[in-house]
Amino acid sequence: MWLSNSSVGRKVVMSVTGIALVLFLTFHMAMNLVALISAKGYNMVCEFLGANWYAVAGTLALAALFIIHIIYAFWLTIQNRKARGSERYAVTDRRKEVEWASQNMLVLGIIVIVGLGLHLVNFWSKMMLPELMGCEDVSVMMYAADGIYHIQNTFKNPVYVVLYLVWLAALWFHLTHGFWSSMQTLGWNNKTWLKRWQCISNIYSTIVVLCFAAVVVVFYIKSLI
């Protein structure tokens, strides 16, 4: 199959799944901003999503996209290294036009994966998972849809604050390169549009990461007051 047997096909899969994940990040960012405006409003959003069929379907689809993205990322990296062979050790100076992020996408991706695991432990496992498992523990279920409680409980811990900010920094680098690179793969590769997409990638990534970071920092500061 072309999407798996050719390098171009694998890059297309990486690009499409990456763009889909970017759209989810946009939604998640907008949802998190509600927490800064209204605790009640944020909890209403959490309760609306909960473990309803559409939220579960969305979670499964998101998980599938993420797994495919990860598999193809490792696959492409291994194939590229095999193709370069020993030549990758022959060059000691990087070309100026090659971004640092593009040289470290795998490492950045691994940090993003680890951060996601931490995020799932702190939030998903305490909110949606108990509902899916039909947990009968009243003390657990009482806070299942209380997103504000979990945000406050997580970000009052300075260790989690630092870990999340490191995660977000890695995500920023990953997005700034991955976004425009996806557009290039999908055909927006002329000089005019490539520069535009690079600019859009930087602006978008900065906005998204700053909004996520704002939630972390604001709730940490509130915990100190």
Residue whose structure tokens are 């992020």:
101
Residue 19 inside a domain? The answer is yes
85 within domain boundaries: yes
Task: Tell me: pLDDT of 108 over 50.
Answer: yes
Q: What is the rounded average pLDDT for all residues in the chain? A: 85
Q: How far apart are CA 177 and CA 79, in angstroms?
A: 20
User: pTM (2 decimals)?
Assistant: 0.85
Within-domain flag for 94: no
Q: Is 185 part of any domain?
A: yes
Which domain CATH number covers 22?
Answer: 1.20.1300
Query: At how many degrees (to 10) do helices 191-224 and 158-185 cross?
Result: 170
For tokens 């291994």, name the residue: 78
pLDDT at 14: 86
Contact 42, 215 (CB under 8 A): no
- Per the domain annotation, does 96 fall within a domain? no
How many separate domains does the chain show? 1
Least confident of 81-90, 129-138, 186-195, 212-221: 81-90
Confidence of residue 95 (pLDDT cuts 50, 70, 90): very low
User: What is the rounded distance in angstroms from the CA atom of residue 60 to the CA atom of residue 128?
Assistant: 12
- Domain assignment present for 213: yes
Range of the domain at 61: 2-89+104-224
**Residue 17 is assigned to a structural domain of this protein:** yes
117 contact partners, CB below 8 Å, separation of at least 6: none
In a domain, 206, yes or no: yes
Predicted confidence at residue 11, as pLDDT, reads: 84
Query: What does DSSP assign to residue 98?
Result: S
- Closest of 204, 222, 218, 219 to residue 29, by C-alpha: 204
Residue in the block written with tokens 């995660």 = 167
Confidence bin at 64 (pLDDT 50/70/90): very high
